[in-house]
Amino acid sequence: MNDADAPLWGGRFSKPPAPEAEALSRSLAFDVRLAPQDVAASVAHVHGLEDAGLLTAEEAAALTRALHEVGEEIAAGGFSFHPADEDVHSAIERGVTERLGDLGAKLHAGRSRNDLVVTDLRLWLLSGGERIGAGVTRLGRALVAHALEHAETVMPGTTHGRLAQPVTLGLHLLAHAWALARDLDRFHAWTGRASVSPLGAGALATSTLPIDPGVAASRLGFAGAFANSIDAVSDRDFAQEFLANAAILGTHLSRLAADLIRWSDESLAWLRLDEAYATGSSMMPQKRNPDVAELARAKAGRLAGHFTALCSVLAGLPLGYHRDLQEDKEPLFDAVDTLEVVLAALAGCVATAEFDAESMRRATAPDGLYATDLAEALVTSGVPFREAHRRVGELLKRLDAQGRSLRELSDAEWQAEGLPQGGSLLDADRAVRARATHGGPSPESVRAQAGALERIFDTGAGSP
């Protein structure tokens, strides 16, 4: 076999791989984005070899320089990939070896692609997690800003999508922000577990060379090195956990998007989407469609799919490296890409949205929204809640039959119902202020929640 066509493992083989086998095997098209991490991990490994006395300082410096040059060439699009480059890791090693000859051939001592691949992937994902955290924070802040502006804006709260009790817009917006705060917390906790360097585990059993994995770990900014070399090359739960967090975040973004879509439709018109975050129709000139929110709503399915895909790859896979593990990358890359673009678009969509406080207030007119308040007023004067519930229900039934509303009751009729405060209860501002409990819809509670969330989004840690 011609040396130039030989794969890295060619020594034992007398034929090159069949083109179809190579086509299935090649991961370069997607793992080329690990090039910066592969250069960093390789440089850390070179230092380990130098510390072990296996490379002179000059050799280490030449290898480091060549690695950076290859990395820069790949970044600039000037690197010429070879058909035999199975993945980015083999391409970079080949590039270094072509530059340095025998010295380049020393690079792979004491390491395997099995530990290298997963080291690169952890590094990539840790920075992906940071970008997602920044996107979540930006969206969270946009929600908090609107919530503070609308701490006193009343609107009908719903259960089962039907009118329930008055709330403040601030309370509802912050419900979405609290979900995002938990997402931040999940990614933060994940970082602690994922920050483990597998480099030095080798193919599965470390190596006979005196290389300290702790040195590469700290050079690469990991919190520590692996505790078990088989676990180091086999473990992908850091990737599963990341995708689980991404899928949960995806559902949160989807539910927020669903509210934006509903509130901005013509039947409610509680919210006007900025033109920069809406789209028109090619046929109907009047349209202002919520495509950004619709796509954000739909991406949850794709993100959940990535989690499911990786779980299926891993289930039943014995320990040790298997080529199956190459399938871990695309779901992760796509999850990060998807979330970055959705978070940015949704943050802009929320930040520029204009709420119509007056139309929300008008929607608090239906008297059914105050039925619970009437029952609770009866409870305050000593009526057991079940009886109070029944009495208010009967009153509503009677009025319904008469085609009247609670607002038409006379003082005497209110008196007869045991509710002398009467019509004053049918007021959304009073209703939300009366719910003064911590965590509820009152303007004070909304402001206190917003303050706690601002602290979370300022520290990025996800808990107060």
- Does an H or E element contain 354, and which? strand 354-355
Q: Judged by CB, which is closer to ligand ARG: 108, or 299?
A: 108
Instruction: Please give the residues from 13 up to 32 whose contact with ligand ARG meets the rule CB under 6 A.
Output: 27, 31
Q: What is the rounded (10 degree) CA torsion for 316, 319, 323, 327?
A: 60
Structure tokens at 464: 């107060």
Q: Which stretch binds ligand ARG (CB under 6 A): 97-105, 110-118, 331-339, 388-396?
A: 110-118
Instruction: Please give the residues from 279 up to 308 whose contact with ligand ARG meets the rule CB under 6 A.
Output: none
Tell me if 200 sits within 8 A of 110, measured CB to CB: yes
Structure tokens at 58: 């000059």
Structure tokens at 147: 């919530």
Q: Which stretch binds ligand ARG (CB under 6 A): 193-201, 321-329, 333-341, 377-385?
A: 321-329
Q: Which stretch binds ligand ARG (CB under 6 A): 103-111, 226-234, 319-327, 395-403?
A: 319-327
Q: Kindly determine how many residues on this chain lie close enough to bind ligand ARG according to the rule CB under 6 A.
A: 10
> Is 45 noted as a catalytic residue in this protein?
no
Shortest Å distance, C-beta 202 to ligand ARG? 11
Pairwise CA distance, residues 46 & 65, whole Å: 11
Annotated active-site residue in 281, 381, 410, 424: 281
User: Which residue in 38, 85, 87, 183 binds ligand ARG (CB under 6 A)?
Assistant: 87
Pairwise CA distance, residues 426 & 409, whole Å: 11
In which residue are the tokens 């502006």 written? 149
Shortest Å distance, C-beta 161 to ligand ARG? 46
Tell me if 271 sits within 8 A of 288, measured CB to CB: no
Q: Judged by CB, which is closer to ligand ARG: 291, or 327?
A: 327
Tell me if 123 sits within 8 A of 37, measured CB to CB: yes
Q: Which stretch binds ligand ARG (CB under 6 A): 63-71, 323-331, 387-395, 396-404?
A: 323-331
Q: Considering the rule CB under 6 A, would residue 235 count as an interface residue with ligand ARG?
A: no
Q: Considering the rule CB under 6 A, would residue 234 count as an interface residue with ligand ARG?
A: no
In which residue are the tokens 């439709």 written? 265
Q: Judged by CB, which is closer to ligand ARG: 90, or 264?
A: 90
The site string for ligand ARG over 116-135 (x = CB under 6 A, - otherwise) reads -x------------------
Phi-psi region of 405 (alpha: psi -120 to 50; beta: other; left: phi over 0): beta
Pairwise CA distance, residues 337 & 328, whole Å: 15
Please measure the distance between the N-terminal and C-terminal CA atoms of the chain and give it in whole angstroms. Answer: 63
User: Which residue in 220, 249, 325, 369 binds ligand ARG (CB under 6 A)?
Assistant: 325
Shortest Å distance, C-beta 234 to ligand ARG? 12
> Is 322 noted as a catalytic residue in this protein?
no
User: Which residue in 37, 42, 97, 114 binds ligand ARG (CB under 6 A)?
Assistant: 114
Shortest Å distance, C-beta 318 to ligand ARG? 15
Pairwise CA distance, residues 374 & 422, whole Å: 8
Shortest Å distance, C-beta 223 to ligand ARG? 24
Residues 174-205: b if buried by 16+ CB within 10 A, e if exposed: bbbbbbbbbbbebbbebbeebbbbbbbbbebe
Q: Considering the rule CB under 6 A, would residue 326 count as an interface residue with ligand ARG?
A: yes
Instruction: Please give the residues from 371 up to 430 whose contact with ligand ARG meets the rule CB under 6 A.
Output: none
E-strand ranges in 143-230 read: 154-159, 162-168, 196-197, 224-225
Q: Is residue 157 helix, strand or coil? A: strand
User: Which residue in 263, 321, 355, 414 binds ligand ARG (CB under 6 A)?
Assistant: 321
Shortest Å distance, C-beta 27 to ligand ARG? 4
Shortest Å distance, C-beta 120 to ligand ARG? 9
Shortest Å distance, C-beta 196 to ligand ARG? 18
- Contacts of residue 170, defined as CB under 8 A and 6 or more positions apart, other chains included, come to 146, 147, 148, 150, 151, 152, 153, 441, 443, 446, 447, 450
E-strand ranges in 39-153 read: none
Q: Is residue 66 helix, strand or coil? A: helix
Catalogue the active-site residues. Answer: 160, 281
Contacts to ligand ARG by CB under 6 A: 27, 31, 87, 113-114, 117, 321, 323, 325-326
